[in-house]
Amino acid sequence: MDFLFQSILNGILAGCIYALFAMGLTLIYGVLNFVNFAHGELIMWGAYFLYFLMGKPFGFPLPIALIPALLLTILLGIGMDRFVFKPLRTANRLTLLIAALGLSFLLRNGAQFLWGAELRTYGFEIKRGLRILGISITLNQVAIILTSIVCIVFVYLLFHRTRLGKSMRAVSDNLELARVMGIDSKHAIQFAWVIASVLAGVGGILLALDTNLQPGMGLINLVKAFAATLLGGVGNIWGALLGGIVIGLAENLGVLVISPGYKDAIAFGIMVLMLLIRPSALLGRQE
Amino acid sequence: MTSILEVQNVYSGYGKIEVLHGVSIQADSGEIVCIIGPNGSGKSTLLKTIFGLIKPKRGVVLFSGRDISLKEPEEKVGMGIAYIPQGKNIFPSLTVRENLEMGGTPLHDSRVIEKALQDIFQRYPVLEKRMKMKAGSLSGGERQVLALARASMVQPKLMLLDEPSLGLAPKVIEEIYERINAINHAGVTFVIVEQNARKALKSAHRAYVLDLGINRLEDTGERLLNNEEVKRLYLGG
Ligand SMILES: Nc1ncnc2c1ncn2[C@@H]1O[C@H](COP(=O)(O)OP(=O)(O)O)[C@@H](O)[C@H]1O
Ligand SMILES: [Mg+2]
């Protein structure tokens, strides 16, 4: 029984992080109508930016390094759009897809060049777990859940309480109609990149805190984010949140019946299944 | 009467495809002008060109005497021109209230937007009742009302409507045109494009028939309604 509760907790933990990735992915999909396959690299670079600022020569403590690390992630996201996707705004979906894949590859190799392919950690071991009702949870994991909740509440307030957030949803619904209303769609698109980058950066850092850093961490988590996005209905941010948690739970409950070695296959399976049901998702909304 | 909108000999289209081959229309301040014509004759293209979503290749568009041919839609909204496109003209995943707020974007100040919103709710109690609902859950008629109300948020001088009766039942069309007439009585000029034109011609002060991207006929709505050729060709007998 304890084992079941432990799996549920682990599932929610993983799900929170997947949700952060998926919300950003689906947000960009919503405003620009394409799947950013380089989103995983925002996750990975976000984590490495923090590693970079905490290491030599800076040696900043985590709370101080956090803000500049996220700012650098935002810069990377905005840069992606400015130099790769914006010039291709009117290109066809396949071109965008290939550009995103190429960018992902480039950024992954860039990280490997700078930091090597080996696993790294932020270097503090807070593995001392709390035990509540027979379930063990580390302080890191408590931080992961709290931070995710803060991010989700922040996104909720932004999208439903501010004019900029509402404009972003309007652009996501119908870009041309938004324009007809005098909504500054360029501004809204840029802001969507900021939010997506922050969510990716925060998620990447949380993931690295819980496990480790590695140049391939973005790619594998992109698959999960993409599966969550498909599950929640592409372009639907709250669907992505739910989809992330479902995938996290499915993985961690799945290992009760199949070998943990196949954990990643579960998200992959869900993704393939959803693509079979809704193949159009890969190439954007077909009107 | 002063002319609020003048479209003079406009050529326009998409890329290399020319759709309008020299179209001229004119609307006096306070008029309802209707443009009818068969599917594909360029009615929507004409409205898009007036609003600036497409730029005319030749000819000019004058608004209150000013040449606005090459201005961007965002600028035209600020000048008092509202445009309601054909078909998908609301944000389905936003609430009714949020849709109206989006219509108030050019007002900038949140308090001014809130004030405009309250005015709209007073004129459209239906929308106030539904304000927390997703706009996507509204009926076709309610969507059109929402689109009209949203365009009214900025108190435009000129409203361009593309097929406001599209897909609606006759009774609902009746209601939409009552709303349009009410807004018109408050002094707003309308240019309305319709394919299904009976109701529109009844409301219109003047009307144009457009066919294959050129002007065919121009007359009062009343007379076009009784014109044998129009009846046969455009009103389905
Ligand atoms: N975005 C577009 N790109 C290319 N051609 C278009 C586009 N929109 C409309 N057309 C063409 O322009 C012509 C006029 O279309 P439209 O203005 O929509 O007519 P109407 O509104 O009178 O039905 C049609 O032949 C249509 O195929
Ligand atoms: Mg049309």
Percent of chain B with pLDDT over 70: 98
First-to-last alpha carbon distance for chain A, in angstroms, is: 49
Measured between its terminal Cα atoms, the distance across chain B in Å is 34
Cα A125 from Cα A118, distance rounded (Å): 18
Q: Where are the domains of chain A?
A: 9-122+138-283
Largest pairwise CA distance in chain A:
58
Query: Over the stretch B53-80, which tens digit does the pLDDT of each residue have?
Result: 999 999 999 999 999 999 999 899 999 9
Find the B162 Cα to ligand 2 centroid distance in Å.
7
Q: If you measure CA to CA, which chain B residue comes closest to A169?
A: B94
From the CA of B42, how far away is ligand 1's center (Å)? 6
Residue of A nearest to B114 (CA): A163
Taking the centre of ligand 2 as the mean of its atom positions, its distance from the CA of residue B200, in whole angstroms, is 15
The verdict on B137 touching A (C-beta cutoff 8 Å) is no
Does the pLDDT of residue B95 top 70, yes or no? yes
Give chain B positions within 8 Å (CB) of A159: none
Q: Which CATH architecture best describes the domain B3-87+157-234?
A: 3-Layer(aba) Sandwich (3.40)
Q: How far apart are CA B145 and CA B164, in angstroms?
A: 9
Note the pTM of the prediction, 2 decimals.
0.88
**Candidate from B44, B83, B194 with most ligand 1 atoms within 8 A of CB, to mutate:** B44
Secondary structure letter of residue A258 according to DSSP: S
pLDDT higher than threshold 70 for residue B1: no
| Domain residue ranges of chain B, discontinuous segments joined by + | 3-87+157-234
Partners of residue B33 on adjacent β-strands: B191, B206
Per-residue pLDDT of A168-211, as tens digits, reads 999 999 999 999 999 998 999 999 999 999 999 999 999 999 88
Q: Residue A79: pLDDT above 50?
A: yes
A281 vs A167, which has greater pLDDT?
Answer: A167
pLDDT beyond 50 at A286: no
Q: How far is B217 from chain A (nearest CA, A)?
A: 30
- Tell me the nearest-neighbour CA distance from B3 into chain A, angstroms: 24
Which pair of tokens denotes residue A220? 């594998």
Alpha-carbon distance A212 to A32, whole Å? 32
Compute the CA torsion angle B85, B87, B93, B94 (nearest 10 deg): 40
In this prediction, what percent of chain B has a pLDDT beyond 90?
78
Please name the member of A163, A177, A179 whose beta carbon is closest to the beta carbon of B91. Answer: A177
Q: Give ion ligand 2 contacts, CB < 5 A.
A: B 44, 86
At the top level of CATH, which class does the domain A9-122+138-283 belong to?
A: mainly alpha
Nearest-by-CA chain A residue for B103 = A181
Choose the closest CB to A170 out of B85, B88, B94. B94
Q: How far apart are CA A83 and CA A226, in angstroms?
A: 23
Say how far apart CA B232 and CA B38 lie, in whole Å.
12
What atom in ligand 1 is closest to the CA of residue B213? 14
